[in-house]
Amino acid sequence: MPTIQICVLANSIKNSHRCIAGLEVEKTTDGKRNVGGWIRPVSRHDEGALNLEERALRSWWRKNEPQLLDVIEVHLDKNESDRSQPENWLIAPSKPWKLIEKMAWKDLLPFVDRPKDIWLESPRDWEKFSPSWLRRQARVQSLYLIKPETIYLEAQTEYDSAEARNKKSRWVVFTYNRFTYRLPLTDPVIEEKYLGQFPTIKDGLKKFQLASGNDCLLSLSYTPAFRTGYHYKVVSAILEPGK
């Protein structure tokens, strides 16, 4: 039953709970940090989403849930053995997490991923890919930390006639390796910061620039396969300098 430390790089909304993921970190005797691979602690319910009790932190200076760039101690049970998301580790039940310290944004720069593309099965399907395509990949990684070339947010409220209600949509439009992606945003902190005054139906589609311009990092992930037969990509977090 391993106990490890991770730097939190995603704390996104999932099934009314949260999906938390980060890079494993270990301090050496000289005070430096060794940074390892991605870890996504998951529960045994709600497609692995973590409720508030499961993700609550204990520390002498703060008692709440993880925030981006927190280094936290987590207790794990075993790897979930899911090839589509190999970073998934089941959490150990009734083992509270602990806040250790905070990392600086600039300290992440040496560990940015540099994939050739963002799970791009076809240029026509920049938002999703099929399980069969994923099975053909020699190496599967379901989480990336990247540096985009350009970025802005989009938001829109539309009437959903099938559900008879107004539906709010949030996207991150970014360029990476000269290819433009438009992916859903699941970062509640960025939504509150930039989309607090959400556009109404009359406003139509609105664009929002980040205060940091294009200088940010993105945590990217993808969902388990939906009933539609596809995995869908999401922006789990936007990390701006100074966080």
Closest Cα partner for 169 from 150, 152, 153?
Answer: 153
For 67, residues 6+ apart whose C-beta sits below 8 A from its C-beta are 8, 11, 189
Judge contact between 50 and 97, C-beta under 8 A. no
* Residue 92: per-residue pLDDT: 93
Residue with more model confidence, 185 or 196: 185
pLDDT grade, residue 187 (50/70/90)?
very high
For 124-186, strand residue ranges (E) read 128-129, 143-146, 150-160, 165-176, 179-184
CA 167-189-214 angle, to 5 degrees, is 95
Quick one: residue 15, left, alpha or beta (phi over 0 = left, psi -120 to 50 = alpha)?
left
Question: Sorting pLDDT into bands at 50, 70 and 90, what band is 63?
Answer: low
Residues in CB range of 196: below 8 A, 6 or more apart: none
Q: What is the pLDDT of residues 77-130, one digit of tens each?
A: 999 999 999 999 999 987 889 999 999 999 999 999 999 999 999 998 899 999
Among 53-57, 200-204, 229-233, which is the least confidently predicted range? 53-57
Element (H, E) at 42: strand 33-42
Q: What is the pLDDT of residue 53?
A: 87
Place of tokens 């139906």: 201
Could you give the percent of the chain with pLDDT greater than 70? 97
Residue with tokens 């209600």: 165
pTM here is: 0.92
Q: Is the predicted pLDDT of residue 227 greater than 90, yes or no?
A: no
Instruction: Give the pLDDT band (50/70/90) at residue 163.
Output: confident
Q: Which of 53-62, 168-177, 208-217 has the lowest mean pLDDT?
A: 53-62
Average pLDDT, the chain: 92
Residue ranges of alpha helices (H) inside the chain are 52-55, 131-135, 188-194
